[in-house]
Amino acid sequence: MHRKLLFLITFTFIHQQIFCWGFYAHKVINHQAVFLLPPSMMGFYKPNIDFITEHAVDPDKRRYIVTQEGPRHFIDLNTYGVYPFTNVPRRWKDAVDKFGEDSLYSHGIVPWWINSMQQRLTNAFQQKNYPAILKLSAELAHYIGDAHVPLHTHNNYNGQLTGQQGIHGFWESRIPELLAEKSFDYFIGKATYIKDPLDFAWKIVLQSASAADSVLLFEKRLSDQYLPDQKYAFEERNGMIVKQYSSSFAIAYNDLLNDMVQRRMRQSIFAVASLWYTAWVNAGQPQLEANANIQFTPSDSTAFKLLDAGWQSGKSGERTCEN
C-alpha cells in the first residue's frame, strides 16, 4: 500500500550504532499506519504524515539526554521466569507493590509505558491539542513497534550472552532495509478499536517473548553453516560501503524465520493505527481539522533541537541495540 511513498522517507545513519527497529523500520511503520485510519482521522493525519514519519525515532534520540528513557523500550520477561510470566502483575501499581519501581525499571517497562502514552494521547485528543496529538502519535508508535521485537523481551537482547553480538540490529534493521521495499506486503486492513490497551500491550510483548528463542537459535544454526567471509560482506548501505551481514545470509535467515520480521512489522503497523484510533474514540471522536494551523511552542522547538544534538553527540549511557 502506497509503496511509492516509501521513497520519500529519508534515512539518516550518522552513527554506526543501530537503533531499535532501525530508523528505517520505525519510519515505515508510522508512515504506513496512517493509511489504516478511518477518513475522519486520516484527513488530519495524512497532511501531517511527514512529521509523524520523521519523528518516529524521537524516543531513540531521547536515550541520549534522558536517563530513564531506555527502559521504556523493552521488558526482559525471561528474567521473571517462564512463559507466560503470570508472576508479573499486569497492572503497574500491582507490579510496583510486588517488585518495586527500581526493579521494574531495571528490567524494562514497555507495556506499561505504552498504556501511559495511550492515555496521554487520549487526553490530547480531548483537548484538541494538535501539536501534542502529533508528537504523542509519533512517539506512542515507536514504543509499540519496539514491543513487537522479540529481543526487546529478552535479556540476551543483542546476543551478548551467546556470542551473537549484532543480532539485534541484524533482525530489525538489516532485514527490513534489504527486503521491505522488495517484498514486504503492507495491505493489512483497517484499524480496529482496542477495548483494553494495557492488555493489548501485554499480548504484544508475550508474542514477542514466545519468538525470542527462535530468533537466537536460528541465527546460531545458520552461522554454523557459513564461513565468516560468507556471513559478512562489504556492501553498500546508505551510500557507503560498510561491513555487514551479507545479503545471502540475511535472506537465508529470513527464510528460516518464515518471514517473522515482515509479520511483526505488519502487526506493528496494525497495532499503531488501532491504538491511535482507540485514543480518538475514547476521547469522544472529536472532529479533527484537516487544515489545522499547527504551531509548536518555542519549548517544543528547543526540545526537538536538543534531541538531535544529543543523538549527534553519540554519548549514551543507556542500553541500546549494540551494547
CATH of the domain at 139: 1.10.575.10
Identify the band that residue 318 occupies on the pLDDT scale cut at 50, 70 and 90: low
- Let me know if residue 270 belongs to a domain: yes
Q: Is the pLDDT of residue 12 over 80?
A: no
Alpha-carbon distance of 206 to 201, in angstroms, equals 9
Which residues are paired to 244 by β-bridges?
Answer: 233
Q: Is the pLDDT of residue 98 over 80?
A: yes
* CB-count burial class (<10 Å; 0-12, 13-18, 19+) for 239: exposed
Q: Tell me what pLDDT residue 312 has.
A: 79
pTM for the whole thing? 0.90
> Per residue in 173-228, pLDDT tens?
999 999 999 999 999 999 999 999 999 999 999 999 999 999 999 999 999 999 99
Number of residues that make up the chain: 323
- The number of domains in the chain is 1
Q: Tell me what pLDDT residue 316 has.
A: 55
Q: Tell me what pLDDT residue 310 has.
A: 77
- Let me know if residue 168 belongs to a domain: yes
Q: Is the pLDDT of residue 79 over 80?
A: yes
Q: Tell me what pLDDT residue 18 has.
A: 39
Q: Tell me what pLDDT residue 21 has.
A: 63
Q: Is the pLDDT of residue 50 over 80?
A: yes
- Let me know if residue 314 belongs to a domain: no
Alpha-carbon distance of 145 to 104, in angstroms, equals 20
* CB-count burial class (<10 Å; 0-12, 13-18, 19+) for 305: exposed
Q: Is the pLDDT of residue 19 over 60?
A: no
Q: How many CA atoms lie within 13 A of 152 on its CB side?
A: 31
| Residue that the C-alpha cell 526487546 belongs to | 152
- Let me know if residue 60 belongs to a domain: yes
- The stretch 134-148 carries a mean pLDDT of 98
Identify the band that residue 319 occupies on the pLDDT scale cut at 50, 70 and 90: low
- Let me know if residue 81 belongs to a domain: yes
> Per residue in 250-282, pLDDT tens?
999 999 999 999 999 999 999 999 999 999 999
Identify the band that residue 9 occupies on the pLDDT scale cut at 50, 70 and 90: very low
Q: Tell me what pLDDT residue 305 has.
A: 87
Question: For all residues of the chain together, what is the average pLDDT?
Answer: 90
Identify the band that residue 5 occupies on the pLDDT scale cut at 50, 70 and 90: very low
- Let me know if residue 254 belongs to a domain: yes
Query: Which residue would you say has higher pLDDT here, 91 or 23?
Result: 91
Q: Tell me what pLDDT residue 99 has.
A: 98
- Let me know if residue 82 belongs to a domain: yes
- Let me know if residue 296 belongs to a domain: no
Give one word for 151, left, alpha or beta, with left for phi > 0 and alpha for psi -120 to 50. alpha
CA angle 294, 138, 141 (to 5 degrees): 155
Identify the band that residue 15 occupies on the pLDDT scale cut at 50, 70 and 90: very low
Q: Is the pLDDT of residue 8 over 70?
A: no
Q: Which of 60-64, 115-119, 208-212 shows the lowest per-residue confidence on average (mean pLDDT)?
A: 60-64
Query: Which residue range is the domain that position 276 belongs to?
Result: 3-287
